[in-house]
Amino acid sequence: MGKQRVLSGVQPTGNLHLGNYLGAIRNWVEAQSQYDNFFCVVDLHAITVPHNPATLKSDTYKIAALYLACGIDLEYSTIFVQSHVSAHSELTWLLNCITPLNWLERMIQFKEKAIKQGENVSVGLLDYPVLMAADILLYDADKVPVGEDQKQHLELTRDIAVRINDQFGNPEKPVLKLPEPIIRKEGARVMSLTDGTKKMSKSEPSEMSRLNLLDSPEEIQKKIKRCKTDPLKGLEFDNPQRPECNNLLTLYTLLSDKKKEEVALECQDMGWGQFKPLLTETAITALKPIQTKYQQVMQDKGYLESVLREGRQQAEAIANETLARVKKALGYSLPS
């Protein structure tokens, strides 16, 4: 038996922050040798809200380079750009025509994003989850590692696959494979530096709310120095009155690779004046190898291009086969 297949993706919107890394990419890296992995930069999703054409390409390359810098290993994993594989758009259209509109209208993330967009809501924003379903189903993915916020989109993906199979497949030979989500644990959720009850997020206007993977030591120091804390001495996990305290200890735990119990003991008598420099040092040290590798990759554009070219070929080989299978099931003639 071959390895199970994993597929996941990140949008090329600006910098990756520690939440993206600790909550997603680091877990992909840790598990990658067990699976056959496909990691894409989902640049078609990036235009579901107004975007800047002047930076789309460089933002896309940046995420691909960060995948490599974070330790995605081409021996186990394929890195590619969603828009390079046209099967993603094409399967989306086919899935669109069998997906009931009301399935999309009830997506929580759509409703939240639509409110933020005001008047300017595109059909693409509503269709976002169908494109995501196409990303996953094209590769017959067994497992899809995502955050809690993507759970509903995974359920939709399964519902769409079931519908295609019911309407166009036969029970012995389903057209599409049903993927399983790997939902990461709550503990790995990284919260904002300025509000310990909110997720660390790219869309939060204040840069002070997040640590980016490419922040300089000076920026890291400044952000941690000014981050929100509380007036209490003695640091502790899991006190609902102290969300910032829990978040900063969690960050320290993840970045230092220590055990939670160990950190609880180490920090139980500390004040913020002692803890903040410790967290700063730990963050700078943990990010340094990623930043060094990133600079190396970015200095060799030819190498990055070749990684993405090869990734595209590997992705296409699988995606085009699945697309042909779906078209055939739907009754299309295939070009000979």
Is residue 11 within the footprint of ligand TRP (CB under 6 A)?
yes
Among 46, 81, 144, 284, binds ligand TRP (CB under 6 A): 144
Can you list the alpha helix ranges (DSSP code H) found in 10-150? 18-20, 26-31, 53-69, 87-96, 101-105, 108-117, 123-137
Name the residue nearer to ligand TRP (CB basis): 68 or 146. Answer: 146
CA–CA dist 331, 126 (Å, integer): 27
Q: Is 92 in the site for ligand TRP (CB under 6 A)?
A: no
CB 24 within 8 A of CB 202: no
Task: Verify binding: residue 45, ligand TRP, rule CB under 6 A.
Answer: yes
Q: Least distance from C-beta 270 to ligand TRP, angstroms?
A: 34
Provide the edge-to-edge strand list for the sheet that holds 5-10: 77-81, 36-41, 5-10, 143-146, 180-183
The reply to whether 287 sits near ligand TRP by the rule CB under 6 A is: no
Residue 11 or 32: the one with the smaller Cβ distance to ligand TRP is 11
- Is residue 9 a contact point for ligand TRP (CB under 6 A)? yes
Amino acid type, 312 = R
Based on the shown chain and the rule CB under 6 A, indicate whether residue 20 belongs to the binding site for ligand TRP. no
Does 146 help bind ligand TRP (rule: CB under 6 A)? yes
Residue 231 has a CB neighbour count (10 Å cut-off) of 6
In a 3-state reduction of DSSP, which class is residue 35? coil
Q: Give min distance, CB of 135 to ligand TRP, in A.
A: 4
User: Residues, the chain, total?
Assistant: 336
Nearest distance, CB of residue 162 and ligand TRP, angstroms? 18
Residues serving a catalytic function are: 113, 199, 202
Of 54-62, 132-140, 289-297, 298-306, which segment contacts ligand TRP by CB under 6 A?
A: 132-140
Cα separation, 285 vs 289, whole angstroms = 8
CA distance 126 to 104: 6
164-223 positions binding ligand TRP, by CB under 6 A = none
Print burial letters for 14-26: b (CB count within 10 Å at least 16), e (below 16).
ebbbbbbbbbbbb
Can you tell me which of 6, 7, 66, 130 binds ligand TRP, judged by CB under 6 A? 7
Give the start-end residues of each E strand in 187-309: none
Contact string 149-168 vs ligand TRP (x = CB under 6 A): -x------------------
Instruction: Give least dist CB 189 to ligand TRP, A.
Output: 13
132 binds ligand TRP (CB under 6 A): yes
Q: Which residues form the interface with ligand TRP (CB under 6 A)?
A: 7-9, 11, 42, 45, 132, 135-136, 144, 146, 150
